[in-house]
Amino acid sequence: MSARAKSSLHGAGKSRSKDPHGPPIMAGLLFCSKAAFCQSYQLNMTILRRYLIVAIWLALPVLFIFLLFNRPPAAFADSVKFGMDINSIDVQESSGIKPDYGMFWIGSWTLSSGWGGPDKLLETAVKKGVSPVIQFYYWGDDISINCVENGCWSSLHNTWKNKQNWQTLAVQLTDHLNKKMRGKQAVIILETEFNKGNITNYEPFDDYLAEKARFIKSKYPAAKVVVGFGNWGSSDWSNFDESVGASDMVSIQALRGSTHNNIESYRSVADSTLTAARMLKSIFGKPILISDVALSSYPTWSHEKHQTDALRDFFANLDSFKAQGVAGLIYRTYKDNPSANTANYYGEGERYWGLAKADGSPKPAWFVWKDGIKAERSVSVRKTNTPPPAPEPETQPEEQQEQKQQTMRVNFELSPNINKWWAEVWMGNNPGPVWVDMRIENGQWLKMDKTNWGSWAKNMYIEPGSNVTFRVINTQNNETILTREYNWLQ
C-alpha cells in the first residue's frame, strides 16, 4: 500500500480543507456537530470506497464472460460461395458452375520443393477470376506441444519441423502473394484441424496462431485469414479466442471414410457439421467456412451411394447452414488420386475423395454437387431480381377479388408412384406458367422438373418419415403457394 493510501486510511480523522471525492462528503460534514461524528463519517466513506473498488474488480471477469458469450450473432448469409481444388476450375466452368474458390495446400514440403507449383496455381486463380484458398498446413498430424516448442522429425513429410521454419513458410507465402496476386483476395486457412492431442488446451499456441494471422494480414492486407478447426473437442474451441479475434473467419472440416467411420457416422456428417457451425457461431460470432468436405467412396460401389447421400444432405440443409453464418462450402477434390499417400489418416480411403474417378468419369455425387450449386445460385438470383409486388388498391371489385383467388388456387396431389428415391406431384387444374420446388424439413428449396406426362418430379433420396413441403410459384406475377407438410411414405 502506498504512503498516500496509508495516510488516507490512518489519518481519516484529520481535518481537510477540501474533499476530493465531491459533494456527498461535503454535505455530510455540514451536519457534523462533533469531531467524533465527522471522523466516523469520513472513515466509513473510505471503507465504502474500498469495498466499491473490490466489487468492481470482482465484477470484471463476470462482465468479460458475458461479453464473450453474448456477442452479436454472425450475419445470415444470403448466399453460399462454392469451390473445389484449383485444378478443377475448367471442368466446373464447362458444367455451368464456375467456382468462387480454388483450393490448394502448402506445407513443410513447400520449403524443399519450392514455389514453382504454387506460383502457377496463383496465376491460374488470377487468370480465371477465382479466389485462391490456401491451406497453410505446416504442423499437420505431427502437431504437439513438444513438436511446436522443441521441434520434431516428421516421418510423414520427411523433414524437421520447428517454429522457425513455420515462420519461414509464412514469410515466403506473403512474398509470393504480393508477386502473383497483386492485391487480389486470397483466403488463408491456418493449420486446419490443429486442435488435437495436447495442443487443445495449450494457450501459447493460441498466441502463436494469432501472431501468424497478424503477420500475414500485415504483409498482404488483401488476405482473409481463417482459423481451421477439426470437428471434435468443441468444449476447447474457446481456448483459441485470441487467434480467432486476429482472423477474419473460422472454418470447420467434414471428412468421412469407411476406413475410420461406420455408416451411421458417415451419413450423419452434414448434421454433425451443422452442429459444429452452431457451436462456432455461439462462441465466436464470425463468418464460417466449411473448408474441407471430403467423402471417400472407398471400398465399393455401395460407398458411392453413401458419398452421394451424404453430400446431398449438405445442400438439403443449406438454409440452416446459412442461418449459422456459413458463407462458403469447399469440396476437397474433383478426381480420385491413385497416388495419394496412404500413410495419412484414412489410409486407402485417401485415394477416393473425388466426385469423379481417376479417369475423369463422374460419380453420382458429382451431379448432386453440380445441381445443388445451380439450385442455390438460382434462388439467390430470384431473391436479387424479383421486384417488390405493386401496391394493391384498398378496395377491389368483387370480380377482380374472385379472379385473384382463382389464380392462387391449385389442385395439388402426390403421385401414387412416390418412393424414397422419387418425388412426384400432380396439379389437377391448369395453374398457368409455374415452377414447382420442394424442400425436405427446413432445408433448401430444390427445383422439380416437368415430366413428359405432365407431372413435376425430382429424383433424389428422401428419408422415410421426413417432412416434405412443396411450393408452386407463378412465373408471371411471382404469386406463391405452399402445400402442407407431407410425412414422407408414412
Give the rounded percent of residues in the chain with a pLDDT score beyond 70.
Answer: 78
pLDDT in the model for residue 61: 65
- pLDDT tens readout for residues 188-206: 999 999 999 999 999 999 9
Cell 428419408: give the residue. 463
- Please enumerate in sequence order all residues whose Cβ is within 8 A of that of 397, keeping only pairs 6 or more positions apart, or say none: none
Other CB atoms within 10 A of residue 443 CB: 22
Fold of 407-487: Immunoglobulin-like (2.60.40)
For residues 271 and 261, give the distance between their C-alpha atoms in angstroms, rounded to a whole number. Answer: 15
- Tell me which DSSP letter residue 345 carries: T
Mean pLDDT on 12-31: 42
pLDDT of residue 398: 45
Q: Does the pLDDT value for residue 95 go beyond 50?
A: yes
User: Which of 107, 1, 103 lies closest to 50, judged by CA?
Assistant: 1
Average pLDDT over every residue of 89-114: 96
pLDDT at 482: 83
CATH number of 81-337+345-385: 3.20.20.80
Residue 324 has pLDDT above 90, yes or no: yes
The residue-averaged pLDDT of 414-427 equals: 83
Longest dimension (CA), the chain: 105
In the prediction, which pLDDT does 415 show?
Answer: 83
Q: What is the pTM of this model?
A: 0.66
Q: Give the pLDDT of residue 176.
A: 98
- In the sheet that holds 456-459, the strands lie side by side as 412-414, 422-427, 456-459, 449-450
Predicted confidence band of residue 434 (pLDDT cuts 50, 70, 90): confident
**Residue 74 per-residue DSSP state:** P
The residue among 439, 433, 414, 410 whose CA lies nearest residue 424 is: 414
For residues 89-107, one letter each, b for 16 or more C-beta atoms within 10 angstroms of the residue's C-beta and e for the rest, the string is bebbeebebbbbbbbbbbb
Contact yes or no for 181/132 (Cβ under 8 A): yes
Q: Which residue in 209, 214, 260 sits closest to 237, CA to CA?
A: 209
In this predicted structure, what is the pLDDT of residue 463?
Answer: 84
Grid cell for residue 391: 401496391
Domains 81-337+345-385 and 407-487 fall in the same CATH topology: no
Q: Give me the long-range contacts of 13-21 (CB less than 8 A, separation at least 24).
A: 13/38, 13/39, 13/42, 13/43, 21/45, 21/49
Long-range contacts made by residues 297-302, C-beta under 8 angstroms, separation at least 24? 297/336, 297/352, 297/354, 297/363, 297/365, 298/257, 298/258, 298/259, 298/348, 298/349, 298/351, 298/352, 299/258, 299/348, 299/349
Task: Using pLDDT thresholds of 50, 70 and 90, give the confidence band for residue 50.
Answer: confident
Q: How confident is the model at residue 71 (pLDDT cuts 50, 70, 90)?
A: low
Bond before 299 cis per omega within 30 degrees: yes
Phi, psi of 131 (to 5 degrees): -80, 125
Averaging pLDDT over each range in 2-16, 175-189, 409-423, 445-459, which range is the top one? 175-189
Closest alpha carbon to 78 in 314, 377, 388: 377
What amino acid occupies position 8?
S
Please spell the DSSP secondary structure of 373-413, one letter per residue: HHHHHHHHHHHHHPPPPPPPPSS--HHHHHHHHHHT---EE
Q: How confident is the model at residue 428 (pLDDT cuts 50, 70, 90)?
A: low
pLDDT given at position 473:
80
Phi, psi dihedral angles at 287 (to 5 degrees) = -55, 150
pLDDT score recorded for residue 52: 72
What residues are paired with 446 via a beta bridge?
A: 438
pLDDT tens per residue across span 202-227: 999 999 999 999 999 999 999 999 99
Is residue 399 pLDDT above 80, yes or no? no
User: How far from 382 is each of 379, 385, 474, CA to CA, in Å?
Assistant: 5, 5, 13
- For the chain, which residues make up each domain, given as ranges? 3-69, 81-337+345-385, 407-487
Angle at 387 between CA 383 and CA 392, to 5 degrees: 130
Element (H, E) at 83: strand 81-85
CA angle 152, 154, 155 (to 5 degrees): 135
Phi-psi region of 164 (alpha: psi -120 to 50; beta: other; left: phi over 0): alpha
